[in-house]
Amino acid sequence: AGALRRWLLNHEALPSSPLVAMIPVSVRDPASKGAMGNRVSAMLAALPTQLAGAVERLHAVHETTRIAKSQQAAIPQGLVDEISDFAPPALVARATRVVFATGVLHRLPPFNVVISNVPGPNVPVYLGGNRLLAQYPVSVLTDGQGLNITLVGYLGQLHFGLVACRELVPDIDALAGYLVDELTELHKSIGAADADE
């Protein structure tokens, strides 16, 4: 939120209301742990880009994602998969083409940015005897969206992958730098708040 806030301020485009993030979430139940394939749904959560303070943003994000997760939990496990399993693939493909052809996402975008967090291994990973040092994800943009931020955890670190539409975010390198700056600022702010208590 802080990095996006700074980027929007620098482009004189900061809205007074928060951005909305679409966050993919796993809906895999504990019984299917270790099974092949993905069971993924999504939740929408306010991203408090309108707030200036790093700690204030952190508390706001915690609350909005808590609410979004509780709403997501109200959807029965497997419902998304059962619906998609029921629909014939040809029908799903046709519906998808209609959505993109009509430009619905351009007229009524339900969210501003995709943010995904993929838990990675907390043990070293090797390939051909070489240890993996970092894992930077590359995700996708859908029609009508301009930015995807994906995080992968590995050995206690977060590795960020940013993908953007070059017309909408031509300076994605600046946004990546703001992520580092804002995480550093958040770390300092939390340390100072802990010291005061």
- pLDDT tens for each residue of the chain, 197 residues long: 999 999 999 999 999 999 999 988 876 666 666 666 666 778 889 999 999 999 999 999 999 988 888 876 554 545 444 444 444 555 445 555 555 555 555 555 688 999 999 888 899 999 999 999 999 999 988 777 899 999 999 999 999 999 999 999 999 999 999 999 999 999 998 887 666 66
Q: Chain centroid to CA 123: how far?
A: 24
DSSP characters over 36-101: SS--EEEEEEEE-TT---HHHHHHHHHHHHHHHHHHHHTSPTTHHHHHHHHS-HHHHHHHHHHHHH
- Determine the longest span between alpha carbons in the chain, in angstroms: 60
- Record the pTM: 0.76
Q: What is the rounded distance in angstroms from the CA atom of residue 128 to the CA atom of residue 138?
A: 22
Q: Identify which of 123, 158, 122, 156 has the alpha carbon closest to the alpha carbon of residue 137.
A: 158
Q: What is the rounded distance in angstroms from the CA atom of residue 28 to the CA atom of residue 74?
A: 14
